[in-house]
Amino acid sequence: MAAIIELQGISKHYSRTIIGVDNVSLSVEDGEFVTLLGPSGCGKSTLLRMIGGFEAPTHGKIRLAGQDVTHVPPYRRDVNMVFQDYALFPHMTVGENIAYGLKMLGKGRDEARRMAAEALEMVGLADKIDQRPMQLSGGQRQRVALARAIVRRPKVLLLDEPLSALDARLRDQMRIEMKHLHEKVGITFIMVTHDQEEALTMSDRVVVMEKGRVAQDGRPQDLYDHPASPYVANFIGTTNFLAARRSGAGVATAAGPLQVEEAVDMPDGAEVTVGFRPEKTRILAPGETAANALPARIAEVIYYGLGLRITVELADGAQVHVDTLLPDTLARSDVPRPGTPVTIAVEPHNIFVFPGKVVV
């Protein structure tokens, strides 16, 4: 498959010191669903707006299907956007909103209306064609905005925080619907979100951004299992961090030695930070032994329906989260009580090792 979007060294400098996007290079395959993920102010929206043509990069080139479109205005770019506030035209009906972009393509009135009706059918709103956007619910407006963008069959569909204005239940539903829509229409989707769950569940590839740069770019699973930096490990999922030093084949933390599998090219004694996921951490049964066992004491137990999040305190006072699913046979008396001494363990292959000392 060919790259449909190619960003080559894109930067957006607002002034000498204020840099929105810093030298980002990215290639998106035709038909891919790519998500730009990061906290607010990381430059993800600016990057998306530059792909849409609403802002011009100060450095670098944007190619769309091989053509340099860096300075092509939005109305001549074969790219469409779903805006965060949907930006439906309030003075037009739903049908007119969707037909708007078709008329600009030179479609006749009847054909535009027919195609608008088809697009509405696809998002399940066929009966709303003559209503005004104000009469629709948030979720319905979202679908109209999607239909309006997709009906032009652009090469790339841009989505700017498309689900952020919806309530939680509807958001879950729309996530799945949008993924299905992507599979159905076969258009490349580039989405911007600050919601890691959204990014992981919907996309083929996630680009994590930090301060205008790409922090990591990969499949959701790879990002989760092999975060490239503590920033990514912390942004995607939850991670326990412990300061340590390189020692022999493993590392030495203040609470005890740990075996690791990740190769670290660092001399003995170098400062490192280890990270591990709460759900990959176990509390050993009494008398059980395992690799990387560390003595600890239960500090807090939080029940969250699906399971328990247990916070334990290691020998040096560092706190570590342990997530466990609740076995259905668990009796009330088996729930660990704060103060109980326990032993926790993490498999060596589940430990990330990052160079340097990190404050997260």
Partner 1 sequence: MTQRKPLSRFAADTALMTYVALLMAFLYVPIWVLIAFSFSSSRSLTWPIPGFTLDWYRKLFANTDLQAAVVNSFYVATFATILALIVGVAAAMALHRLNFPGKTLFRRLILLPITLPGIVTGISMLNMFRLFGFNPSLETVILGHATALLGVVVTQVFARLQRLPRSLEEASSDLGAPPWKTFLLVTLPNIRSAVIGAGLLSFVLSFDEIPVTFFLTGRDNTLPMYIYSTMRRGVTPEINAVGTLIVLASLVLIILSVLLSRDRSPR
Q: Is 134 in the site for partner 1 (CB under 8 A)?
A: yes
Owner of token pair 């239940």:
169
Give me the least distance between CB of 152 and partner 1, in Å please.
Answer: 7
Q: Which stretch binds partner 1 (CB under 8 A): 13-21, 132-140, 232-240, 302-310?
A: 132-140
- Contact flags string 277-316 toward partner 1, x per CB under 8 A: ----------------------------------------
Please name which of 174, 178, 177, 156 lies closest in space to residue 165, comparing C-alpha atoms: 174
Distance CA 270, CA 5 (A): 41
Distance set, CA 299 to CA 237, 283, 293, 295, 302 (Å): 22, 13, 18, 13, 10
| Strand 319-325 versus strand 307-314 pairing type | antiparallel
What 3-state class would DSSP assign to 105? coil
Given the complex with partner 1, which of 76 and 332 has the nearer CB atom?
76
Identify the residue among 27, 84, 234, 311 touching partner 1 (CB under 8 A). Answer: 84
Q: Is 152 in the site for partner 1 (CB under 8 A)?
A: yes
- Contact flags string 86-105 toward partner 1, x per CB under 8 A: -xxxxx--------xx--xx
Q: What is the DSSP string of 17-80?
A: S-EEEEEEEEEEETT-EEEEE--TTSSHHHHHHHHHTSS--SEEEEEETTEE-TT--GGGSSEE
Binders in 321-340 for partner 1, by CB under 8 A: none
Binders in 37-66 for partner 1, by CB under 8 A: 52-54
Q: Is 250 in the site for partner 1 (CB under 8 A)?
A: no
Q: Is 132 in the site for partner 1 (CB under 8 A)?
A: yes
Given the complex with partner 1, which of 61 and 132 has the nearer CB atom?
132
Distance CA 240, CA 294 (A): 14
Q: Is 18 in the site for partner 1 (CB under 8 A)?
A: no
Structure tokens at 11: 């930067």
Identify the residue among 133, 162, 227, 230 touching partner 1 (CB under 8 A). Answer: 133
Distance CA 308, CA 285 (A): 16
Q: Which residues are at the interface with partner 1 (CB under 8 A)?
A: 52-54, 73-76, 79-81, 83-85, 87-91, 100-101, 104-105, 132-134, 148-149, 152
